[in-house]
Amino acid sequence: MAYFLFVDESGQDQRASPYEVLAGVAVRDTDLWPLIKEVQRLEEDHFGGRYRGAGRELKAKNLIKKKAFRQANSHARFDVDERRHLARACLDHGSTADPKTQAALAQAKIAFVEAVLQACAESRVRVFATMVPQSAPRPTTPGLRKDYAYLFERFSYFLEDDAGGDQQGIVVFDELERSRSHVLLDQMHKYFIGTQKGQRRAAWIIPEPFFVHSELTTGVQLADLVAYTVSWNFRYTQTSLPARTELDPLGRIVAEMRYLAVREQDGNPDFSIWSITQIEDLRPRSER
């Protein structure tokens, strides 16, 4: 048995997003194809056909950005059949679509994302994410960044706990620019082979990841939806940055898919380690 951890990012440009998020969705191998088929069915149900294609991707910035909510609220709620028909018309006509069909498409997008996240929850998906404020200090020395290490740590705890640890984790990244992919591969190799913590986690996680095209891989698209929702809505503490409240229904579903590991730490045998965490400083101790 194995779990695929599909990984994507949000807010890496350090511009509009309040948090830089690295997110992963863990899907059991036997659940993956049924979940992919369900996402495709939901596409048909909400858009009267496939949304993907003609330059369109199932990305959160296209589906649940602020503009989508403004357009959705510009018209009374459509019933499901009319919304599907008008959403299809809007997709087919592109820039010439009228405001009514644009509102229907926006309503369909938001409903689709909520349905997809709910399908993930029903398919036993677990979410893992690190939240880094845009103001957080960044490291200047090479090596695997703390947010990646924390993500792998929490994923390994989940694998260790699941069915007595008789699982393997396969990491799947959205393809980066080639040189960045080589850097990440080298950093992961040094972490999993050259550090004690990495060596322990290599018992559960295969140290060499796969790189795929996000527009062709449903699992990475799911990670994108989670990363965006965490960045804009999930809040780790009361002092966290303000959230977009219109995303609350999505944030609640994501929160339900977290994993809670319990480990001994600092003398506490029952220390809680949630699979979504906030990191205030990415620098290693040697740089602080």
For the record, the structure tokens of 240 come out as 């966290």
Taking only the tens place, the pLDDT of each residue in 189-228 is 999 999 999 999 999 999 999 999 888 899 999 999 999 9
**Helices 99-122 and 248-256, interaxial angle, to 10°?**
20
Q: Is residue 124 part of a domain?
A: yes
pLDDT value of position 265: 87
pTM of the shown model:
0.94
Q: Is residue 9 part of a domain?
A: yes
Taking only the tens place, the pLDDT of each residue in 53-103 is 777 889 999 999 999 999 999 999 999 999 999 999 999 987 788 999 999
Q: Is residue 83 part of a domain?
A: no
SS3 236: coil
pLDDT value of position 175: 86
Is the Cβ–Cβ distance between 137 and 283 less than 8 Å?
yes
In this structure, of 53-62, 146-155, 225-234, 266-275, the range with the lowest mean pLDDT score is: 53-62
What's the angle, vertex CA 241, arms to CA 257 and CA 127, rounded to 5? 15
Q: Is residue 92 part of a domain?
A: no
Alpha carbons 267 and 217: distance in angstroms, whole number: 43
Q: Which of 139-148, 157-166, 221-230, 258-267 has the highest mean pLDDT?
A: 221-230
Q: Is residue 71 part of a domain?
A: no
Confidence of residue 163 (pLDDT cuts 50, 70, 90): low
Q: Is residue 170 part of a domain?
A: yes
Is the Cβ–Cβ distance between 205 and 96 less than 8 Å?
no
Q: Is residue 105 part of a domain?
A: no
Q: Is 94 left (phi over 0), alpha (psi -120 to 50) or beta?
A: left
The total number of structural domains in the chain stands at 1
Its domain, for residue 160, covers 2-42+119-287
Q: What burial letters (b/e) apply to 68-93, b meaning 16+ CB within 10 Å?
A: bbebbeebeebeeeebbebbbbbbee
Q: Is residue 153 part of a domain?
A: yes
